[in-house]
Amino acid sequence: MIYISVAFKEEAKPLLQQWQFQRDKRAPCTLYAARHIYLLITQMGPTNARHALETLLHYRPPQPGDCFINFGICAAPDSYALGTVLRCNHLTYHNQSLRLDTKTTCTLQMYDSPCNIVQPHAVDMESFILFQHALPHFSQCFCIKVVSDHFQPETVRKRTIAPLLQHGVAALKEIIHEYRHCDRS
């Protein structure tokens, strides 16, 4: 199975349109299911993300070989154009650090709230906590972020999130294709 997490419904929209997800109304979290894919909506922030993922892991425990992907928006320096897709492999939070794969060299720093002070790296509010809890349970983990703003969170609008994320759906589909191909080998 592939487990995908997003922070909020607007980030889920392009995925809900791409695959034929059905809401799992029995789930103790906001969960959608399609063939071989679970889509979890965590809500914003590290506390919500941790709670939602822990709930999902208890409700639908991963099996050996399962894959976890965090997908969504992030703030980034203006050297990245809006809509740029980042495949992040180095995650930081305070003085802690996690590494995912070695194919990329993009750093993503997690903050507890929206960041309006320019940082040297991309920033989000859920990634580090999600991967801190996911890494022990999944064979493969990926973090795909799309630049939504340049540390101006007040400029992000609901109506612009789904169109921005369309750029990232292609990267997400590539990962899913690679995972399914490797899984069948």
Q: Which helix (H) or strand (E) holds 51?
A: helix 46-59
Q: pLDDT at residue 102 above 90?
A: no
User: Closest by alpha carbon to 116, among 125, 106, 127?
Assistant: 125
Choose between 166 and 127: higher pLDDT. 127
Percentages helix, strand, coil for the chain (3-state, rounded to 5) are 35, 30, 35
What would the pLDDT profile of 122-158 be if each residue is shown by its tens digit? 999 999 999 999 999 998 999 999 999 999 999 999 8
Q: How confident is the model at residue 89 (pLDDT cuts 50, 70, 90)?
A: very high
In Å, how far from its chain's centre is CA 33?
16
- What is the pLDDT at residue 177? 84
CA angle (119 as vertex; 114, 123 as ends), nearest 5: 45
Residues 70-98 have a mean pLDDT of 95
Residues 75-87 have a mean pLDDT of 96
Q: CA separation (Å) from 63 to 1, 28, 53, 122, 123?
A: 8, 19, 15, 31, 30
- What is the pLDDT at residue 183? 53
Contact 95, 68 (CB under 8 A): no
Q: Which helix (H) or strand (E) holds 144?
A: strand 140-149
Q: pLDDT at residue 7 above 60?
A: yes
pTM, to two decimals: 0.94
- What is the pLDDT at residue 184? 45
| Distance from C-alpha of 165 to C-alpha of 184, rounded to nearest angstrom | 28
Q: pLDDT at residue 182 above 80?
A: no
Helix (H, G, I), strand (E, B) or coil at 114: coil
Q: pLDDT at residue 179 above 80?
A: no
Task: Pull the structure tokens for residue 143.
Answer: 């973090």
Choose between 95 and 179: higher pLDDT. 95
Percent of the chain at pLDDT > 70 equals: 96
| Distance from C-alpha of 156 to C-alpha of 48, rounded to nearest angstrom | 20
Q: How confident is the model at residue 167 (pLDDT cuts 50, 70, 90)?
A: confident
Cβ neighbours of residue 126 under 8 Å, at least 6 residues apart? 5, 7, 42, 44, 45, 46, 48, 49, 70, 72, 110
| Distance from C-alpha of 92 to C-alpha of 132, rounded to nearest angstrom | 10
